Structure 1
Amino acid sequence: MYDFLIAPFADFAFMRSALYGSLALALSSCPVGVFLMLRRMSLTGDAMAHAILPGAATGFLLFGLQIVPMTIGGLIAGVVVALGAGAVSRFTIQKEDASMAAFYLISLALGVLMVSVRGSSVDLMHVLFGTVLALNNDALTLIGVITAITLFTLAIFWRALVAECLDPLFLRSVSRFGTPVHFIFLALVVLNLVGGFQALGTLLSVGLMMLPAAAARFWTVRLEPMIALAILIGAVSCVAGLLISYHFSLPSGPAIILSAGVIYLASIVAGTRGILNSRVRHHRHRTA
């Protein structure tokens, strides 16, 4: 048991770095994923994950696979796409989901093209799927800073974020902070996707944000326990994915996301609000 569960992290520094980085991402991104899900914006997270690719690709073209330039580029690109999609939906007849889809498709194609112009297929795979086993001190510092900013911001704007999830129109009618809180939340989404990009790549970073949140939804309806459970599921997924990757020589990022996917599928069936319990409650109601 020790050799399977503990030894990989005790014996290898790169496994410990991957563990620290992925756990910090789970602590940071899973609460954001819960709010995204409750606001019915789950696909917005996926769109934003693709939207950061051109900025990251620009940083790659100018400086190579260096963390700071790619992070700054990804952050700028994510903010531009979020503001652009919001402006289109506000000043035209098109809804925000359609404008977001258009922007992210353009961004994804542009980013892939930019990486392909200078880099190899290996570079493209690193950008798209991340390198969680190659996290260095700079990457861990960046992820730690993003986690601290996210948790601090959530604590400060907690009541406003909860109110906007329940009734955004009411919040905007009684408070002038409704619109600013919406953009602050979108900034948190972009920030966490940029952090996740370092470990999981642009295509998989949203997985650690959304799958634990979606799984937690099948176990509780209360917000605080849902966030705590999402963080726990995210942490378990990270540990399980890294161990599976190490012992079976599989890609680490996909292994982490698939571990979260397995928990999600199990939650659909066995959760307190899942299929089995729903059938039991329905049967008891009919026989009562």
Structure 2
Amino acid sequence: MIGAYLLDPFLDYGFMRRALVGCLALSLGACPLGVILVLRRMSLVGDAMAHAILPGAAVGFLVAGLSLVAMTIGGVVTGLAVAILAGLVSRFTPLREDASFAAFYLVSLGLGVLLVSMRGSSVDLLHVLFGTVLALDNPALFLMASIASLTLVTLALIYRPLIVECLDPGFLRSVGGGGTAAHMIFLTLVVLNLVGGFQALGTLMVVGIMMLPAAAARFWSETVPGQMIVATLFGFVACVAGLLISYHEELPASPSIILSAGILYGASILLGRHGSVANAALRLRHLQR
């Protein structure tokens, strides 16, 4: 009975298998990046970047309809443009980076929704905002797998300067360690994963699979590699659970995946090995003795 509940949807339907493969590829690339965003205290920047790709995707939609290539190129261009502009504003003005990202995020969200609404229907708008994970085709899967592979290889190459730049950027600048280059490469990877992920989960949901498993992993491991592994595993579990809930309960797939990740985050807050409510209660009880 349990085996049928877990396996039959993926064995019987090709669209469920494609959705599973796409979500797992997204988790493999996005969750490690989410750990770095949490480490850098840039969690809300990920949300801002997710909405920054919306105008470019909307322009691609206006030019070529629901074209994977056009919407991907548009999303990458506007996402990188917002990242660069927000960085320049924070560097040359008193405004902090998170505030500048928030400003560009609000403008991007409004502009993107307006552009899609000019030509598309409400169904097209929902497709861009919330994705169509159960309608992924082979080109979309290839794009997501390619982005995940590129992300993992690039993270392996820039891992050390990226971590040092997170913890002590002044030291890295003093030794000429290329912290700025590592930061820009990292932001590029974030944009690429968000662009690849919006095909499945939409621009409003994709950041959830990047940030929720990463935040939950903080309660289970104290090392960055350990958190990346745990975050990826949590991403996998959330994707499988969300797809199964969507199939059996006839609920939308994208919110089901994100809510599954949210349940894992809530459970981690309560029961995690490091800094959780249960851990703090045990420590207090030990001290009282």
- Counterpart for residue 79 of structure 1: 80
Deviations 1:19-46 (A, max 9, x none): 0000000011000000000000000000
Q: Where in structure 1 are there 5+ consecutive unaligned residues?
A: none
Q: CA RMSD in A?
A: 0.8
Kindly state the Cα deviation for residue 176 of structure 1 after the two structures are TM-superposed. 4.2
Amino acid at match of 1:171: L
- Counterpart for residue 278 of structure 1: 280
Cα distance in 2, alignment partners of residues 97 and 223 from structure 1: 23
- Counterpart for residue 148 of structure 1: 149
Deviations 1:117-153 (A, max 9, x none): 1011111001000000010000001001101110010
- Counterpart for residue 189 of structure 1: 190
Q: Which moved more, 1:91-100 or 1:114-123?
A: 91-100
Amino acid at match of 2:15: F
Cα distance in 2, alignment partners of residues 93 and 36 from structure 1: 22
- Counterpart for residue 9 of structure 2: 8
Cα distance in 2, alignment partners of residues 202 and 182 from structure 1: 23
Correspondence 1:242 to 2:243: yes
Deviations 1:174-209 (A, max 9, x none): 124111111011111111111111100000100000
Kindly state the Cα deviation for residue 99 of structure 1 after the two structures are TM-superposed. 1.1
Cα distance in 1, alignment partners of residues 242 and 209 from structure 2: 11
Alignment map for 1:29-48 (pairs within 5 Å): 29-48=30-49
- TM-score using structure 1 length: 0.98
Percent of aligned positions with the same letter in both sequences?
63
* Runs of 4+ that moved beyond 2 A: none
**3-state SS of 1:6 partner:** helix
Cα distance in 2, alignment partners of residues 103 and 223 from structure 1: 30
Cα distance in 2, alignment partners of residues 276 and 96 from structure 1: 35
Cα distance in 2, alignment partners of residues 172 and 236 from structure 1: 39
Deviations 1:1-33 (A, max 9, x none): 232100100010000000000000001100000
Aligned length: 287
- Counterpart for residue 263 of structure 2: 262
Correspondence 1:202 to 2:203: yes
Kindly state the Cα deviation for residue 271 of structure 1 after the two structures are TM-superposed. 0.6
Alignment map for 1:24-63 (pairs within 5 Å): 24-63=25-64
Kindly state the Cα deviation for residue 278 of structure 1 after the two structures are TM-superposed. 1.0
